Amino acid sequence: MTLGSAESWIDRIIVVTGAARGQGAAEALLLAELGATVIATDVATEADDLEKAAAGLAGTITYQRLDVTDEHGWADLAQQLGDNRVHGLVNNAGIPQRSRLADVERADWDRVITVNLTGPMLGMRTLAPLMGPGSSVVNVGSVAALTAHHTVAYTASKWGVRGLTRVAATEFGPRGIRVNAVHPGYIDTPMIEGAPPAMLPAHLSLTPLGRPGLPDDVAGVVAFLLSDASAYVTGVELPVDGGYTAHGGAKIIADAVAG
């Protein structure tokens, strides 16, 4: 079974948040390549490069500014869509925050929770009425949702995405709407540019595949979860992490013994 022909994606409207660059842009471009009509959103004022990159693809990308924390912005998007059915929503937008528990400021905590957790909730609450049987939501979490490897606000927000995904899968399932989560590991995107230099080698030492992920690695899994190939998959959480979360820390022991 494949992700389907371009004809099977044509007229499918898919909204992708945080799509101006990096992982979100890769998701939007792949979906457009498959033939979908992609509404790419981000807080950035414009994303000309994204629309130019979509030229000549089977589908289309239309960029629209959206702050995922803004209820009115979501309502405006829904109004613009009108009677058009939404076939997919990718809640990709997210922000990091690297303060430890003893140092995190309340304002920083609130901002991370609002973007990373409230944003996906608002997106699903707003667009679900425009979805029907066969529609699919993909919430982008993180390996921080499966471990405690990251700092407190980011980790807490991504653990929240897990609960949000399962509740939504349960509530929307009777309507034929599927809701799943992907948990990327260390993906080479602009989001990690501010990470401490020691983070990459430390991460790779715990990653069986031995390399950082690429945005396309995540985009392919997102496309699968939006496609008919995953028609009986809902409420699942799929790590896209090169095996980082597979061993529970045992890789250090195994490497030491083997060495």
Q: Which residues are catalytic?
A: 154
Reduced to 3 states, what is the DSSP secondary structure of residue 190?
helix
Residue with tokens 């992982």: 23
The closest of 213, 235, 187, 228 to 34, measured between CA atoms, is 228
Taking the CA atoms of 39, 43, 47 and 53 in sequence, report the sign of the dihedral they define.
Answer: negative
**C-alpha of 58 from chain center:** 22
Report the Cα–Cα distance between both ends of the chain, in Å, rounded: 42
Asked whether 240 and 218 are in contact (CB, 8 A), the reply is yes
Neighbours of 91 (CB within 10 A): 29
Neighbouring C-beta atoms of residue 184, cutoff 10 Å:
27
- Cβ–Cβ under 8 Å, residues 198 and 254: no
Alpha-carbon 67 to chain mean position: 15
